[in-house]
Structure 1
Amino acid sequence: MSKPLAVIPTERFEDWWQQRHQQKLLERQALGNKLDIVFIGDSITHAWEDEGKPAWQQYFGPQKSLNLGFAEDRTEHLLWRIQNGEIDELCPKMLVLLIGTNNAGHRLDSPEDIAAGIKVILDELKKRLLTTTIVLMAIFPRSRNTQKPMRKRVNLANQLIKQYADTKQAVWLDINQHFLTEDEVLLESVMPDLLHLNSAQYWVWAEQIKLLQQNMP
């Protein structure tokens, strides 16, 4: 049986992606190896540099912080980046991992394949970041309600990946309830396209991460 595409390290060849990869290698080199926090993921993480910039500047700007989010990345692209220099010799106190929504949306990967891709990434990070607390984020909700196929796919993937973060080295953080109504409806006032956070929600995310940082040993 062939491996799912989600677990096979895959480079992207768009000019902007290659340029950002090189830029991030230089940025992390300039910061040095001992960092307070690293965020790694897809466009939702990338947007800490746009919609999330005010929250980032207040919460993480004073820290030694690095954003390794790349728009439209799936698990296989993130795995390639990890294996090609982006975290080599890094020693962050905390790394926040959010990935998988594009596997669900671009290719309609099964929850099992999404989870397999995330597990490979998490295993790779654990192997390379022996003293880092890795925060595995629940994939953020998408689509309006729980009856939508995309929401179901993401929810099922989250049920699977939660079990991978049950150690001192890897912890689970699910903040999805902050983005939903009591009936688990996702509104455009929270995510305008029912996928990406608006600026206000980055403050919510930042606060939850800050609480984790404060409770670290």
Structure 2
Amino acid sequence: MAAIPYEDNIAKPLWLPRHQEKLAEVAKRGDEIRLVFIGDSIIHAWEDFGESAWHAHFAMYGALNLGFGGDRTEHALWRVANGELDGLNSQVVVLMIGTNNTGHRKDPADYTARAITLLVDEIHQRLPNAHILLHAIFPRGKTASDPLRSLNNEINRQIQHLEQRVYVTWLDFTHLFLQSDGSLSREIMDDYLHPNANQYPRWAAALQPHIKQYLKK
């Protein structure tokens, strides 16, 4: 299931309306969208408590947020296959997906890694001139021994090789979030999964130089 594009219109009643809104945004702003973010609720939250950092660091690139709360890999695959990148000529795509495959179903790491690889392929097919900034899935769980953290770590291990592609850069920002003993603090992620509002400016500052590197003048 992780690698099969899937339309989730039952469990998430606002999901398809958001997809339609994003299609309309792409149609309206297409020429100005140089930067695209794709992912789940962690990406979606740039529109919420990450909003000020988004405007400070990314809005000048005409950035488009294609983060959808609750998305797994199959949902992102469906969205990309169903128009969310159509007609764009964006130069940079920021991608992070997979932690919901871990948390919702405990998908085997190789299933999720294969699906992320397919998503990278799909993005490159639709935006062949774009550089993909592929994020390591953020750490989750209170301690380093948390089984869901370990599963995410294994997915990351299996997708890191994608950086061998000339159009992919691997970004691992784990160090921004973990304590020296490998634990997560509630001051960083109060649910041990989603970065708190005060983490989005730190993430933006770390990410922006990589975005600027691949944006054409």
Pick the TM interval, shorter chain.
over 0.9
* Kept after mapping to 1: 8 A contact 2:30/2:87: no
Q: Partner amino acid for 1:45?
A: I
**Aligned position for 1:47:** 45
Structure 2 stretches of 5 or more lacking a match?
Answer: none
Alignment counterpart, residue 21 of structure 1, candidates 16, 19, 22: 19
Q: Partner amino acid for 1:9?
A: P
**Aligned position for 2:155:** 157
For the aligned residues, what is the CA RMSD?
1.2
Q: Give the aligned length.
A: 213
Alignment counterpart, residue 167 of structure 1, candidates 165, 168, 175: 165
Q: Helix, strand or coil for the counterpart of 2:19?
A: helix
Counterpart Cα distance in 1 of 2:151 and 2:15 = 27
TM-score under structure 1 length normalisation: 0.95
Counterpart Cα distance in 1 of 2:193 and 2:199 = 12
2:7 matches 1:11: yes
Shift of 1:77: 0.5
User: What do the CA deviations read for 1:115-158 (whole angstroms, capped 9, x no partner)?
Assistant: 01101101111111111011110000000122110111000110
Q: Helix, strand or coil for the counterpart of 1:130?
A: coil
TM-score under structure 2 length normalisation: 0.95
Counterpart Cα distance in 2 of 1:40 and 1:33 = 18
**Aligned position for 1:81:** 79
2:191 matches 1:186: no
**Aligned position for 2:118:** 120
* Kept after mapping to 1: 8 A contact 2:32/2:61: no
**Aligned position for 1:147:** 145
Q: Helix, strand or coil for the counterpart of 2:15?
A: helix
Identity between Structure 1 and Structure 2 (%): 43
Deviates more, 1:51-60 or 1:26-35: 26-35
Structure 1 stretches of 5 or more lacking a match?
Answer: none
* Kept after mapping to 2: 8 A contact 1:166/1:172: no
